[in-house]
Chain A
Amino acid sequence: MIDIGYYRKIQNAHGANSLRDAQIQQIKSDLNRDFNKPLDCESVLIDGVEHDLTIIETNNLDEKKIKSRPNDSFHSGQIVYWAGWYWIITKVNRRSEIVSNGEMKECTCHLYWQDNTGKIIDKWAYASNASSYSNGTTGNATITLTANQFLVVMPKDDDTINLEETRMIIDNRTNNRPTPYKLTRPDNVTADYGIGCTYYIFTLDQRNDDKDKKVTLEDASVVWICDYITPTTPTEPTTPDSGDENLDKSPNCCKIEYKSLKVKIGGSARTYVGSYYDENGNLSNDIGEWIITSDFNNKITTVIDGNTIKISISEDYPELDMETFTLQYRNTHSGFTTSISITIEML
């Protein structure tokens, strides 16, 4: 009996339902095979995860066109680490049937600010002169002072989407009395693709010697933070508990309930439930944030439903046997966190 699956497979046409599908698969296969051959193929980190990209020069040295491998992808707002520097993906072609392609710009600044709990947030960003634009507050300016405002492009995420009139030092390399800028005009509309970049106009602002502080970070780097506030909540992990009923319900702490600290490769999903007890020891209804820290986040399958996360590892990744990763639960309002270490095992 003829096994059609055999013939399709040896022709790289497995799963194809039409001649077009088969041709696309052939093109993808050829591209994938030869992807590393051109000189402009580079190994990069996209949001900390290793990928291969074809990086093509443009007329502007600070702007590159990029293409992914077939069956790989990226989206706008992601940060690429390449050539010893950071780049932000600003445009992505939605036509990605064969490969993803887009553009990235060279980041010009590393911005630091604090959220309302005092936690220091940092983002790589691309800033360009925006002196010819309205700053969003003074109306029809007829005379614009040069270099007094910048368009800043940052990844769109929970940290950046809700910024309001935040003051920042855009050039942190100036250590002595740098100039602060204030967010005066947010633009989350013209380039809103669901995910992507935020576009903010920052305008020159008055220095405040009492509130603008020089802060030493954990990695010993020194940065300026505008309107510095002392963190009001600790960020040290509280002791994780197993999932029994005798949970310690101390005030102001996060818990992760679980039945096993092991996830099996190809096995069923493990469930972890996060909770936060407020300052009165009452269980909060807040929906927290889950953060997985590992070198292989792209191989971990997660399904998040409220404060519950289900984690599984596909059978396609046997190389993860005996690896560990950290699962962190964070209450976004209070800043309290807790974390557990999970081991991956063969089924």
Chain B
Amino acid sequence: MGCLYDVGRYKSRFKSKLAHSDDIKECLLGKDYDEEMVDDLLDEHIFDYLYVPDTQTETRSYICFDIRVPRVPNDYIKNMELIIYVFAHKDKMKYTKTGYIGNRCDSLADMIDTAIANAPATDFGIGSLRLSSIDIYQVGTKYYGRVMKYTCSDFYKK
């Protein structure tokens, strides 16, 4: 398989990690979501590319992510970067949940970091994903959030 096979594989695995986190599902869908249809419901909130919402009738929260390969230092290793955008409508920014402190985006970012930390080390690259930076992120005038970057090294080809 090609060296970029991992790009799709990382996306698939990361989305699965999000979909299996009860805290993230509750934060995105509310408390009374239908567990049986959760995958379909999450399709409206989680995107594996940088989704910019058009005019919305509902005020929602979003998680968008993508993969970069910023550097290939040699023939055996490639550097992988997972970029995650977490943003929510400003009307829905207030959020409280036991175990988390901050607004909805703060909590959601913390939940994502927990999901990544709980992932087996074999899921992403050699070793595990390492948080490299967190920044603020603004979409238009109504959405606000964070952008998080995780890095790891992986074998160039498998």
Q: Which A residues lie at the B interface, using CB under 8 A?
A: 3, 5-6, 9-10, 14-15, 259-260, 264-268, 270-271, 315, 318, 346-347
Contacts and interface: CB of A to CB of B under 8 A. Distances in A.
Query: What bracket does the count of chain B residues touching chain A fall in?
Result: 20 to 34
Interface string B113-131: 0000000011000111000
B19 A3 contact: no
Given A9-B122, A267-B39, A318-B12, 20 more contacts: A3-B127, A5-B126, A5-B128, A6-B153, A9-B127, A10-B126, A14-B121, A260-B37, A265-B12, A266-B13, A267-B16, A267-B19, A268-B35, A268-B38, A268-B39, A318-B8, A318-B9, A346-B12, A347-B16, A347-B19
A318 B11 CA distance: 11
B126 A347 contact: no
B32 interface: no
Contact of B122 (A3, A10, A14): A14
A260 B36 contact: yes
15 contacts: A5-B121, A5-B127, A6-B127, A6-B153, A9-B121, A9-B122, A259-B36, A260-B37, A264-B39, A266-B12, A267-B16, A267-B38, A268-B19, A268-B35, A271-B36
Contacts of A15: 122
B60 interface: no
Nearest to A6: B127
Interface of B: 8-9, 12-13, 15-16, 19-20, 34-40, 121-122, 126-128, 153
* Most chain A CB inside 10 Å of its own CB: which residue of B40, B126, B128: B126
A272 to B, nearest CB: 10
Contact of B15 (A5, A9, A259, A347): A347
Nearest to B130: A3
A296 B124 CA distance: 25
Nearest to B121: A5
Contacts of B15: 266, 347
A238 B21 CA distance: 38
A264 B12 CA distance: 11
Instruction: Return the 6 tightest CB-CB contacts between A and B, nearest first.
Output: A266-B16, A5-B127, A267-B39, A315-B16, A3-B127, A6-B127
A259 B127 contact: no
A315 B12 contact: yes
Contacts of A270: 36
A265 B15 CA distance: 10
Contacts of B153: 6
A270 B40 CA distance: 12
Contacts of A271: 36
Contacts of B38: 267-268
B141 to A, nearest CB: 32
Contacts of A265: 12, 16
Contacts of A318: 8-9, 12
Given A9-B126, A346-B12, A266 B36 contact: no
A315 B13 contact: yes
A216 to B, nearest CB: 44
Contacts of B16: 265-267, 315, 347
A267 B37 CA distance: 10
A146 to B, nearest CB: 61
Contacts of B126: 3, 5-6, 9-10
Contacts of B127: 3, 5-6, 9
Contacts of B19: 264, 266-268, 347
A277 B9 CA distance: 45
Nearest to B76: A10
A1 to B, nearest CB: 9
Contacts of A14: 121-122
